[in-house]
Amino acid sequence: MIEQAKQFEWILSSLAKYVFKVSIQSINMFRDINGSDIAFNNEKALFFNLRYFEQVFAVDLNAYLQAFNSSNAIVSEIVNFYFVVTCHELAHNIYRQHDL
Residues 39-90: tens digit of each pLDDT: 999 999 999 999 999 999 998 888 888 886 666 788 899 999 999 999 999 9
Reply yes or no on whether the pLDDT at 100 is more than 60: no
Q: Given this model, what pLDDT does residue 70 score? A: 62
- pTM here is 0.88
5 φ/ψ angles, rounded to the nearest 5 degrees = -65, -40
Residue 7 predicted with pLDDT over 70: yes
- What would you report as the CA-atom Rg of the chain, rounded to the nearest whole angstrom? 14
What is the pLDDT, as a whole number, of residue 25? 97
The answer to whether 17 and 24 have CB atoms below 8 angstroms apart is yes
